[in-house]
Amino acid sequence: MALLRVESVSKHFGGLEALKDVSFSLHEGQVKALIGPNGAGKTTLFNLISGIDRPTSGHVFFRDKDLGRLSPHVASRLGVGRTFQHSKVFDDMSVLDNVKVGRYARGHAGIFSAFLTMPRHRREETAVADASLRTLRRVGLGDRAHESAGNLPVGDRHLLEIARSLASEPTILLLDEPAAGLNNEETAQLAEIVRRVRDDGVTILLVEHDMGFVMDISDEVVVLDYGKKIAEGPPLMIRNDPEVIKAYLGEDL
């Protein structure tokens, strides 16, 4: 059975139809890309999957849970992790502390055990610090752990968001334009990291404009245009799909 099923999802904002009857599914271990011109409804779809917004109609099933009815923090606890197109790094915290917040869902210490720093709490803290540092190393930010997150360059901010989300040990990771603002070398590095994350067993759904990157790492691609799905299939097929070429008229695929 598919891990994630988007079933005839529509989303209206006032009179605007951001998504129209979109369906697709994602299997465990897949890397799937969601592409489409600006305003195609990609981020809207991400918000529905991560529980930030509710679909007007249709369902988003994660295994057997209807994500459209859950809060973001519940979606996260079920195993849906995400990053944001406009960086939402916690700027005034250290890089390491950012990732530690990512481990929140895997921790148990409540406010009272924090107040009293019980031994169990201290053990958990040590474990959180170790795990967070390991996660940072996975994305190559290990040596910047103690810097202020606000000082990171754009590329590293993307990586930090990925690390932060990975720290929650998601089953599926949603990446919203992870390659935006990266140069070629950084993009290649990012592709490498994404592949490694996939190899570790995380299923990945990503929105991206960098077609080279998308074609390089995706197993399958879904194309949205004006809120409608116009194509779905392996990268090679998508590249030659007349509908897709029409939607991207003038752009180089």
Partner 1 sequence: MPILAFLRRHVWYIAFSIVILSAPLFTGNIYYLSILAFMATRLMIVLGLNLLMGQAGQISLGHAAFAGIGAYGSAIMTTRWSMDPWLAMLLSAVLAAAVAGLIGVPTLKLKGHYLAMATLGFGEIVYILLVQLKWLTNGTDGIGGIPSLTIGSIDFGNAQMFHWLVWGVALLMLRISLNLVDSRVGRSLRGLHRAEIAAMSLGVNTSFRKVQVLMVSAVFASIAGSFYVHYVHYVSPVSYTIIFSVILVTTVVIGGLGNVWGAVWGSALMILLPEYLKRYNQDYTQLVFGVMLILTMIFLPGGLVSFRTLVAKVRERFRGSRAGPVTGPEPRGGS
What lies within 8 Å, CB to CB, of 127 at 6+ separation is none
- Geometric angle at alpha carbon 233, from 232 and 238, rounded to 5°: 85
Per-residue burial over 29-58, b = 16 or more CB atoms within 10 Å of its CB, e = otherwise: ebbbbbbbeeebbbbbbbbbbbbebebeeb
Q: Which stretch binds partner 1 (CB under 8 A): 44-52, 184-192, 205-213, 216-224?
A: 44-52
Residue closer to partner 1, measured from CB, 107 or 142: 107
Per DSSP, the three-state class of 132 is: helix
Establish if 75 lies at the interface with partner 1 (CB under 8 A). yes
Contacts for 238-247: CB closer than 8 Å, 24+ residues apart: 238/35, 239/215, 247/36, 247/37, 247/223
Please answer whether residues 18 and 41 qualify as being in contact, where contact means their C-beta atoms are separated by less than 8 angstroms: yes
Among 32, 82, 138, 229, binds partner 1 (CB under 8 A): 82
Based on the shown chain and the rule CB under 8 A, indicate whether residue 249 belongs to the binding site for partner 1.
no
Give me the least distance between CB of 138 and partner 1, in Å please: 17
Q: Which of 128, 162, 173, 175 binds partner 1 (CB under 8 A)?
A: 128
Token duo for residue 166: 């990975």
Segment interacting with partner 1 (CB under 8 A) among 35-43, 87-95, 181-189, 204-212? 87-95
Number of residues forming the site for partner 1 (CB under 8 A): 43
Residues in contact with partner 1 by the rule CB under 8 A: 50-52, 71-73, 75-77, 81-82, 84, 88-93, 97-98, 100-105, 107, 109-111, 114-117, 121, 124-125, 128, 146, 148, 164-165, 168
